[in-house]
Every structure is written in C-alpha cells, then in structure tokens.
Amino acid sequence: MTPLKEFTPYAPRAATLVRKETLSDYVTLFEFNQDNGRPLAHKPGQFIQVSVYGVGEAPFSISSRPKAGSNSFEIAVRKIGAVTTALHNLEAGDKVGIRGPFGSSFPVQEFVGKDTIFVAGGLGYIPLRSLLRYQLRHRDEFGRIIVMIGCRSPEERIFINEIEDLAGRNDVEVLETVDCSNDSWTGNVGVITTLLPKVELDVENTYVAMVGPPIMYKFVIGSCVSDQCISPDRIYVSLERKMKCGLGKCGHCQINGISACVDGPVFRYTDIDLLKEAL
Amino acid sequence: MAAYIVYQEQLPGLLKLWARRYGVHVPVDTGNGLYDFSPWSENTVIAWDYDVTVNPLKRYLLPPREELITFDLTDYSAKGVFEAPRQLLFGVHPYDLNAIAQMDQLMEAGSPDRNYLNRRENTVIFAMEPMRVAENSFWPSMGGGRSDIGFDLFWTRIGPATFFVEVGSKTGEDLLMAGGELPSASAPQHDAARRQREKIRESSDLSSLNVPWEELPKILSKSWNSPIWRERSTMCLACGSCNLVCPTCYCFDIKEEVDESLKTGRRWREWDACMLPSFALVAGGHNFRSRAAERYRHRYFRKGKYIYDLIGELGCVGCGRCIKACTARIANPLAVYNQLSEEAAR
Ligand SMILES: Cc1cc2nc3c(=O)[nH]c(=O)nc-3n(C[C@H](O)[C@H](O)[C@H](O)COP(=O)(O)OP(=O)(O)OC[C@H]3O[C@@H](n4cnc5c(N)ncnc54)[C@H](O)[C@@H]3O)c2cc1C
Ligand code: SF4
Ligand code: SF4
Ligand code: FES
C-alpha cells in the first residue's frame, strides 16, 4: 500500500493584520503580512480565500500590486455578511488564514506598450487596483492609462484620496461618474457608459480591463465593441461567483461548463462570449 | 488479461481472508426489494442478483461529511486531516465502476484532491456483472455497459455457482490467490462470460436512449432554450435528492465549527446539491441560478455536456437512481434526453 500523500490545498496559512483603513461606510482596506515571511506572489486579478476561524472563509481579490521581496498584501472588503463582518471587527495584530492566490489574472505582458482603459463599477476598483498599481509602478512600459470609475452615489466612492492623486498626475486620465448625484457632487452624473465617448481612443492599440456588477458588463461591452470599435479579444473582465474550494472541485462557481475559480475570475471576453451563464 | 474460475463455495474462505486486511463491503437486501452496500461479516447474505443500490458508492470515496482540516485559533495554524480506510468493495456494477472512474479523473485533474485520492488508493474494487437490470436503469445505452478500467477484479457469474473472474490489477490477482492457486478460465468459459454480458444488455433494451449517446452533447448545445426546462421543473421541490443519489454528482459545501475550548476547531466538506436554491446564492441576495428551471437545466447540461467536454464521457451513467428518488417524478434523464433528441430532430 502506498503511503498517504498529505499535502492539502485546504489548509490555510496564517497572516497578520498590520493596517486597517476605512474607505467608505461599508468598505475597509486591510493590509496583512504573511506570517511565513514570503511574498504572496500573486498576479493582478487573482484572489485569495480568507478565513476567520469559527466564522468561515470567503474569496477576496488582492488589491495591492505584486511586491517582490515583501510579505505584505492588501484586500478591500465590503461588510455584507458573516465573514466580512468578522474581518471588519479585526484589529491590528489579529490573524486570519489565507489560501491562494487562486485563479487567472490579467495578461500583463500582453498590455505592455498598449493603452489600457480600466472600467471599474463600484467595488470593481478593488481588483483592478492591483493591475493599475502594477502599471503605474512600471509606468514607461505602458501606453495611456485611462481610469473610468462609476458608483451608484458619491457616498459609495472608495479610495477617494488615491483617485484624487491619480487625477492629479499627468500620465493618467481619470474619469468618474455617479448614477445619482447629490449637492456635494459636481462631477459627471450618469451610468458608466456615458464616460466612454469622452475619450478619444487609439482603438487598434487599446485594451479594456473591466470589473463591476453583472449588469454593467453587457452595456459596457456593447458600447466598447459597437461604438468604440474595440476588438472583443482585447476586452478582459473579472466575474464573481459563489466560491467554496477555489480549486475547481466543489462546483459552486460553475459558469456553464467552466469554473470561475480556476478558469477565471479574469476572462478574455471572446472566451466567454458564447457562455449563456457568463454575463 | 488473465481470467480464472472461482466456485461459490470458495468465497466464504476468501472473504474471510480479505476481511483481515480490508473493510469488505457487499450488496445486501435491505427489504422491500431495495438494496444497499453494507459491511460484510460471516453471516452476511450477499445479494448477488441485486439490480441497483439505493445509494451510490461515492460515499466510500467522498463521504457525505469529511473533515478537511483542523485549525488552532491561538496561532492560526491549520493541519490537513486525511482518513483513508483500507476498504474492498465487492460487487460493483459496471455503471458504478464508470462513475468512480469518472470521479477519479475529475478529482485528479488540476489541483488533485488528496482526500479523495488517498481514499481511492486504499480502495480495492471487485466489479460484478449484474444479473438483472433495474426497472429504471438505462446504462447500456449510455456507454456505461462495460468499463475496462478501474477494477481490480471483474466477476461474471457463468453458472449457478461458477464465477469467471478477470484480473484488473496485481492487487486483485494477489487477493484472488490468497487462498491458493485457481484454475485459469478455458476458451468456452470466456465465451460463456461474453454471452452472459450480452444477455444482460439485451434485457435492458426496452428502456433506452433513442439516439447514440455520443450525440447528446450536440443535442444539448441546441437545447438551451427548450421549453422542456420550464415545463418539467415547475414541479421541482428543490429537495436535492436527485443529486444525492447520483453516483457522478460530487459538489460539496465547506463548513466549520469551533470546539468547546474555543481554541481549536475543524473544517469539513459535505455533499451539496445544485438543485438547492442556495447553491449559487451570494452575499447581498444575488442568485446566479435563482429559478428552478435554471437549476434543472444546469443539472442535465452538466451530465450531458459539461462533463463530456472535460473527459469525453457522459456525466450520466444511466443507473436510474434519480428517477426513483424524485418524488415529483421529473428527474428522469432518459425522458429528458429522449424528448430533447426528438425536438432536435424536428
Ligand atoms: C473572485 C472573487 C473576488 C471577490 N473580491 C471581493 C473583494 O475584493 N472585496 C469584497 O468586498 N468582496 C469580494 N468578493 C465578494 C465576497 O467574496 C463576498 O462578499 C463574501 O463572500 C461574503 O461573505 P460573508 O461571509 O460576509 O457573507 P455571507 O452572506 O454570510 O456568506 C455566506 C457564504 O456565501 C458565499 N458568498 C457570499 N457572497 C459571495 C460572493 N459575492 N462571491 C462568492 N461567494 C460568496 C461565501 O462563500 C459564504 O460562505 C469577491 C468574490 C469573488 C468570487
Ligand atoms: S443522472 Fe440519474 S441516472 Fe444518471 S447517473 Fe445520476 S442518478 Fe444515475
Ligand atoms: S429529486 Fe426531483 S424534486 Fe428533488 S430536486 Fe431533484 S428534480 Fe427536483
Ligand atoms: S470554488 Fe469550488 S469549484 Fe470553484
């Protein structure tokens, strides 16, 4: 009888909370250090499973850029249920369990030398931030960086200071909008598709990286492809599903015949165009 | 492959020898014409002629509840838990063998599932040719008539007390010879085994798929919008029974609890079911398959197309367990696939 093999991808490893930053009423940024001292070694767009023992485990996008030589990484979490509330209750020094990184990523190398439009609906900025910060870190390798952000209301904006800093740079174009305004908001009002016609694009040379609520994708892809003439094979989206194992086994994240946890969460649009359950 | 002859009177002795090294599980009659696998002991009556068991055999490889890790809240360390009893399943029908072989492939693929694979490595499988076909079974037409892989021994009864036993692995052969050398099967005995198999296939021809099974994935790709999904699923009770009894369903949920000490705890997986409304429900109330018709359709697509796209075999082996388990009488793959093939031909 062969001896049992005892490696398990189900066992999380410890990470310690080093910093918490309130981003909005419900969203908080968490910076963790991996206790094993190693870098997370993720690629932009990937996610990890975060455990608060006794409460459960949930998937979150890694929001920081990959940092060689540093064991720190960031996630930003909306308080909505059991695990997310438990995370919000943590204080610096507390620990969580993490598994991963899991899943596919934005093809960074393909974007080199090209322009990128980031389309972030609501919390979609959280996963896109990893790619964005990577590109900013290696700024001269990339063409134009155009960041489009849409929120339901001004109160739901996150990373406000960071986005103001971005808007102040002359090598990044930032466009923001809110669906419904109030008096405090002097910017654009309207859904995120209203931002697209505002920029002149070199469509042959432009990639789209988009994350947002399910409803947003069809509209944005529609106007990117038909109005802007961006080729569908240069559009990348990240899709969320219920996830448990993160390993392509438990079946929860299935989109037709594929698994969002291993085949995604980042997909080239042309690869999922025909999947009825994708968008 | 080598084949030997074993007489029924030799079996009690052999079973006793095997039971020293393995937990041996055999089919038994549980009353009312129902059958199930049960641990063997000396006074167990083996139901040689069982048609199908109520429960699939997946519970030996993917238990309804299986611990995955234990964790320590004081330092957030976690350790894998592996339990893999040495077990021998005696009397596994070909369709269940196919289902296990499928799960082997899917659990091995990508990130290998060590909990499953460790159990599988410690499991010996003695397959057996059925002597009768269950009323609801349709495995011969699903390509599930015979499996050439995944067994250690394959038993076919060719006489009232005579078994023709094919060897599938060294482990199987060693176990067969545990009580001493056995005679090799003669050419007429090979023939007898083949005839026995053909007879069984023929007796199930009445309930069968009306197209070759290889056509199903193509038929399904044209059937996304078929009215059948809504029509049939209106009666669905969302009970998940069809998933639970299916030998090829392996989706699971993950749960955990903290011990009384509040310092340690455990995380386990347990069977889940894509027919349950909560299966694709996420925080905030969004459900990726909120309607019964969508869940119902997903199940048939998974069996008839998605698994096929991955491994080239149908994810339904035609055991018919779901047909019997569904009190709403709608979980009938044969009826669904036949209706779809008629729609596609129109
Ligand atoms: C790839 C991916 C990346 C994500 N990134 C982020 C992020 O960066 N920030 C953020 O705030 N949220 C993110 N989410 C959503 C986040 O996982 C859910 O909000 C979270 O699971 C809710 O857990 P809960 O225990 O607080 O909620 P509960 O409602 O108590 O959760 C119950 C169960 O449902 C599952 N579940 C609930 N909602 C989701 C969901 N949306 N996706 C997957 N499983 C869910 C969980 O596995 C959990 O076990 C991401 C989801 C995915 C799939
Ligand atoms: S779908 Fe039904 S008939 Fe097919 S393998 Fe599963 S339980 Fe058996
Ligand atoms: S067994 Fe029947 S009623 Fe229950 S979930 Fe399956 S199809 Fe629906
Ligand atoms: S999360 Fe389990 S299969 Fe994707």
The alpha-carbon radius of gyration of chain A (Å, integer) is: 19
The verdict on B92 and B29 lying in the same domain is yes
Burial of B61 by CB count in 10 Å (0-12 exposed, 13-18 middle, 19+ buried)? Answer: buried
Strand order in the sheet with A95-102: A56-61, A47-52, A95-102, A13-22, A27-34, A72-78
A137 — pLDDT class (breaks 50, 70, 90): very high
Q: How confident is the model at residue A152 (pLDDT cuts 50, 70, 90)?
A: very high
Q: What is the pLDDT of residue A134?
A: 97
**B223 plus B175 within the same structural domain:** no
ipTM, two decimals: 0.93
- Ligand 1 centre distance from Cα of residue A39 (Å): 24
Q: Considering the domain boundaries, does residue B260 fall inside one?
A: no
Q: B275 and B246: one domain?
A: yes
Q: What 8-state DSSP symbol labels residue A195?
A: G
Which residue of chain B comes nearest to A4, CA vs CA?
B118
Q: Does B11 contact ligand 3 (Cβ within 6 A)?
A: no
Output the six-digit token pair for A50: 């975060």
DSSP-derived 3-state class of residue B71: strand
Residues B96, B178 share a domain: yes
Residue B38 domain flag: yes
Q: Where are the domains of chain A?
A: 13-102, 108-271
pLDDT tens by residue, A65-107: 999 999 999 999 999 999 999 999 999 999 999 999 999 999 9
Judged against a pLDDT cut of 70, whether residue B240 lies above it is answered with yes
Predicted local confidence at residue B187, as pLDDT: 96
- Give A16: exposed, middle or buried? Use CB within 10 Å, 0-12, 13-18, 19+: middle
Total domains, chain B: 2
Does one domain contain both B95 and B44?
Answer: yes
For residue B149, the model assigns a pLDDT of 82
**Which domain does B242 fall in, by range?**
213-253+271-345
Q: How confident is the model at residue A2 (pLDDT cuts 50, 70, 90)?
A: low
**Per-residue model confidence as pLDDT tens digits over B296-330:** 999 999 999 999 999 999 999 999 999 999 999 99
**Quick check: is B71 in a domain?**
no
DSSP H or E segment with residue A52 = strand A47-52
Residue A224: pLDDT band with limits 50, 70, 90: confident
Residues B143 and B194 in one domain: yes
Q: How many CB atoms lie within 10 A of CB B226?
A: 19
The answer on B241 and B335 residing in a single domain is yes
Topology, domain A13-102: Elongation Factor Tu (Ef-tu); domain 3 (2.40.30)
Distance (angstroms) between ligand 4 centre and the Cα of A106 equals 20
Confidence class of residue B198 from pLDDT cuts 50, 70 and 90?
confident
B172 and B247 housed in the same domain? no
User: Which numbered atom of ligand 3 lies nearest the CA of B275?
Assistant: 5
Tell me, yes or no, whether B129 and B49 share the same domain.
yes
% of chain A residues with pLDDT over 70: 99
Ligand 4, residues at Cβ distance < 6 Å: A 243-246, 248-253, 259, 261
> Rounded to two decimals, what is the model's pTM?
0.95
- pLDDT at residue B104 in the model: 96
Nearest in space to A102 (alpha carbons), one of A187, A212, A10, A215: A10
Q: How confident is the model at residue B200 (pLDDT cuts 50, 70, 90)?
A: confident
Question: Could you tell me if B236 and B107 lie in one domain?
Answer: no
Domain A108-271 is found in CATH 2.60.40.10: no
| Mean residue pLDDT across chain B | 94
Answer yes or no: is pLDDT of B69 > 60. yes
